[in-house]
Amino acid sequence: MSDLLTAQEAAARMGVSERTLQRMRTEGRIPYIRLTGKLFRYDAADCDAFIQGCRTTEPPHDGSRPGHSSHNVQSRAKPREATGFMARREARRAASR
């Protein structure tokens, strides 16, 4: 059997946080070995295979539409009048009288 890694070692090897590794485990995206109820180990070969499976040659998709800049996008929502809690409470009290 190849090297078994702790969560900290596996996360560092994959370049993700331990929390992300935990989420990947619970989502079934990476194989793991459960030694006890809360003790997990990861096979180094599985970590490497996961990384290889993530490789792509496609350009990253930034979510913007062609011809539109993805930065400095202003909201099209109408600005709302800023009212504080006290002003809203007084308005409700006045309406109920």
Q: Could you read off the pLDDT of 24-74 as tens digits, one per residue? A: 999 999 999 999 998 999 999 999 999 998 888 877 776 666 555 555 555
What pTM value is reported for the model? Answer: 0.56
Q: Could you read off the pLDDT of 6-16 as tens digits, one per residue? A: 999 999 999 99
| pLDDT at 78 exceeding the cut of 60 | no
| pLDDT at 94 exceeding the cut of 80 | yes
Ordered domains of the chain (ranges, CATH): 4-54 (1.10.1660.10)
Burial class (CB in 10 A: 0-12, 13-18, 19+), 41: middle
Higher pLDDT: 55 or 5? It is 5
Give the pLDDT of residue 85. 73
CA–CA gap between residue 2 and residue 92 (Å, rounded):
68
Q: What is the 3-state secondary structure (H, E, C) of the chain?
A: CCCEECHHHHHHHHCCCHHHHHHHHHCCCCCCEECCCCCEEEEHHHHHHHHHHHCCCCCCCCCCCCCCCCCCCCCCCCCCCCCCHHHHHHHHHHHHC
